[in-house]
Structures are given as structure tokens and as C-alpha cells.
Amino acid sequence: MVHISDGVLPGPMLATGFILTAVLLYYSLKNIKAEEIAKISLITAALFVASLVHFPIGPTSVHLILNGLAGILLGRRAFAGVFVAITLQALFFQHGGLTSLGVNALNIGLPALLAWQLFEYRMHLDSPRRDTIFGSMAGGLAVLASVLMVSLELLTMGEAFKEISIMVIGVHLPVILLESVVAGAAAGFLARVKPEMLAEQQTDASFAR
């Protein structure tokens, strides 16, 4: 439901989506290191597989998105992982479309980057559960942001899409809760047993590189 299909959005919006996606891909892949490839590939595979597990809700079904968890684990590389995952989803399972690929990448990838930035604020909390707390917040808010972006885009298409845009939000409320729990549990567990799996702490210097 967070994938917008071909033929729904107007050309200017689709073109803007591709332009912004290209900019964020450059940012995401800049100065990438060979040793990062395995981790990125693993998380990208998880994003891809998540779309195959559907949960029926009312007249439709939803699936896990995991963009918040991707941000927690990959940092700025999360956008590239999201882009590859949704490209494969569009090619093999027609989730979304190729002309709407740029917009869909923004809808899922940009919240992943926001989740990463939110997760970094855990360092300001003096609590042994800070990774779980901020992981949970990042996981839930990433899905919420994605859903709101899709809903707003559909609303721009006129009154005919109003009910659909509202339904998109409603059916994803359980997903937001579930992903909040999953991301929080994963972040807390990894912080204890394998902290190197979490995204590296961002520094001012790293922005300049």
C-alpha cells in the first residue's frame, strides 16, 4: 500500500521524484567502502523479502516496510538499500511501478534517513534502554512518515483519491505499532551483543567527506 503504481501521479511529480532520488542516492553512496557492501546487501535483502509477507486487514492487506530498521542499521546507506529493494520489487512482483520508482524511493527511503537521525539522539539519553527506546521510536515514525507522504501525494490528485488516502493511514496503524516493537527489540538486542551492526555515529566531519 505504500507503493504508488504507474499512471497515478502526474509527470511533474514523477520527474521531481527521480531528481530528488538521484540526489539522495549520491549522498547515500558517497565514499562507500567495500567492507560495507555485505551489510548493505543483507539489509536490502530483508527489505525485499518483507514485501512478500502480507497481513490481511479488512478489504486489503499490508506488509512490513522495515525502513526504520534499515536506517538504524545502515545510516545514510539506507537510502541506497531501499532503492535497490523497491526496484527489485517493481521488476519481479509489480509492487509499485518503474515510472513511479523515484517517488516510491523517496516515500520509503527518506523516512529511513530520518529514522537514522532520530536514533542518533539516543546518545543524549542516560539510560541502559536508550537503544530500545529510540529504536522503537525510529521504527514506528519511519513507517508513519512513509504513510503520510503517500497519503498527501494521493490527496493532491483530487477528491477521488480522498478515501484511498485515508484508508492508507488506517490500515497501516497496526504496521506502525508492529515495526516500532520490532525495531526497538532489534536495536536493544544488537546494542548488547553486536553493537557494530548499528549505524556508525554521525560526526560533523563525516558530512564534509
CATH at 64 = 1.10.1760.20
193 by Cβ neighbours in 10 Å (0-12 / 13-18 / 19+) ranks as exposed
Residue the block writes with cell 497515478: 8
Residue 3 domain-assigned (yes or no): no
pTM across the whole model: 0.89
Residue 114 domain-assigned (yes or no): yes
Residue 206 domain-assigned (yes or no): no
Residue 165 domain-assigned (yes or no): yes
Residue 1 domain-assigned (yes or no): no
Residue 5 domain-assigned (yes or no): no
Would you write out the chain's pLDDT as a tens digit for each of its 209 residues? 577 888 888 999 999 999 999 999 999 999 999 999 999 999 999 999 887 777 776 656 678 899 999 999 999 999 999 999 999 988 888 777 889 999 999 999 999 999 999 999 998 888 889 999 999 999 999 999 999 999 998 888 887 778 888 888 888 898 999 999 999 999 999 999 999 899 876 544 443 34
Q: Which of 201, 140, 141, 147 is nearest to 171 (CA)?
A: 147
User: How many domains does the chain divide into?
Assistant: 1
Residue 145 domain-assigned (yes or no): yes
Q: Which domain holds residue 167?
A: 11-201
